[in-house]
Amino acid sequence: MTKVDGTVEQAQALDREDELAAFRERFYLLQNGIYMDGNSLGLCSRDAEQAVLNALQEWKTLGIDGWTEASPPWFYLAEELGKREAALVGGKPEEVIVAGSTTVNLHQLVSTFFHPQGTRTKILTDELNFPSDQYALQSQLLLKGLDPAEHLVLVKSRDGRVVEEEDIIAAMTDEIALIMLPAVLYRSGQLLDMERLTTEAHARGIVIGFDCCHSIGAVPHHFSQWGTDFAFWCNYKYLNAGPGSVGGLYVNERHFGTRPGLSGWFGYRKDRQFDMVHEFEPADSAGAWQIGTTHLLSTAPLLGSLKIFEEAGIDRIRAKSLRQTEYMMQLIDRLPVELGYSIGNPRDDARRGGHVSLEHAEAVRICKALKARHIIPDFRFPNVIRLAPIALYNTYEEIWRTVEALREIIENREYEAFATERGVVA
């Protein structure tokens, strides 16, 4: 983008040129506030709200017949949404299903693809991965009678912020049976080279999958083209499907016919599910990895949200996201050094996701001071302020005002009015 001059007039000019600006009006924005936390929980759209109201109306008027007569029928809702999400992960329509939750889907996929045999008894991940993923991997090892201290291999970070692909590849030894990594590291926003890592894993005969919670809806993926074995994600961050909304997963078609590690009746082939036989016959799609009945009211918002993504297009969303985060970083670069801010995320477009990882020794109190100004950030222990300009609803002027607030909070010592303890939910 053009050189940032630090003026609000430039921000306003960029907003006038924004081809995605109209989508902002489809979201419920904070009253007199700025929301920079869409990488943790996306804002509610009018489209998502209407989809929920439609589902409630169908429940009221159709009752149990909604399973076959709703639009779309509830019985096929997970498959329908999977087809629509496939474009966001670069999967074939039958390779994606909307079901479960992030950690349940991780358990499902690892229980399917982790088969310790001979010398291959270990799972490879990184030491900066999200704690829930670590807990699940530890659990899966314990279920196999393996000690996580020995069989969970954690690739070390050289600087506490990012993990180098070279270090991950070097750890792909003949003891590794499965690799599970984040597409984007939740704290620093580093985007891993998933294509390269998939190629290197497969060259060594290792199954590999990715946690895409911090990448789906912000970054294009090409899982079918890359041959990635599996992936999973939540739909409530960049995809704006509501708090605790149903998750999603991808399984490459070469694994169809494999019995899921955790079998349930919604993973049965759809045409015979109500035969009620006791011998499990998996669906011939990613639908086989469903476990239980579709959670209608926490799935419905995604119908509305995906409508927006289909209109905007993930490539245009990614392009604007990169421009906005670059603009924010250049504004931060202009702040006086003595204010103590530093950028902890990679600067290269190809190596960063959708948020800026801003570091400061007083991060906890700065976040509280921002919230007092009705600017919503996100704190991550010990010193990270995560700021996510969302392409669908944040403006350049909001970015400018956020960075101005960061400057004033330190210069005016506003942060000193707040306690150093973080909240229960950070």
Catalytic residue annotation: 130, 211, 236-237, 386
Report the distance separating Cα 356 and Cα 367, nearest Å.
14
Q: φ, ψ for residue 52 (rounded to 5)?
A: -65, -45
Please check if 336 is assigned to a binding site: no
Torsion of CA 199, 251, 134, 348, to 10 degrees: 50
Please check if 395 is assigned to a binding site: no
Angle at alpha carbon of residue 366, lines to 214 and 360, rounded to 5°: 70
Please check if 285 is assigned to a binding site: no
Nearest to 229 by CA among 212, 206, 248, 252: 252
- How would you list the strands of the sheet with 207-211, edge to edge? 96-98, 248-251, 230-233, 207-211, 176-182, 122-126, 152-155
Please check if 379 is assigned to a binding site: no
Q: Which amino acid is at 357?
A: S
In this structure, how many other beta carbons lie within 10 angstroms of the beta carbon of residue 333? 14
Please check if 214 is assigned to a binding site: yes
Please check if 74 is assigned to a binding site: no
Please check if 133 is assigned to a binding site: yes
The most distant pair of C-alpha atoms in the chain lies apart, rounded to whole Å, by 70
Please check if 378 is assigned to a binding site: no
Q: φ, ψ for residue 180 (rounded to 5)?
A: -135, 120
Please check if 139 is assigned to a binding site: no
Query: Which residues define the annotated binding site for pyridoxal 5'-phosphate?
Result: 102-103, 130-133, 211, 214, 236, 265, 293
Query: Which residues define the annotated binding site?
Result: 102-103, 130-133, 211, 214, 236, 265, 293
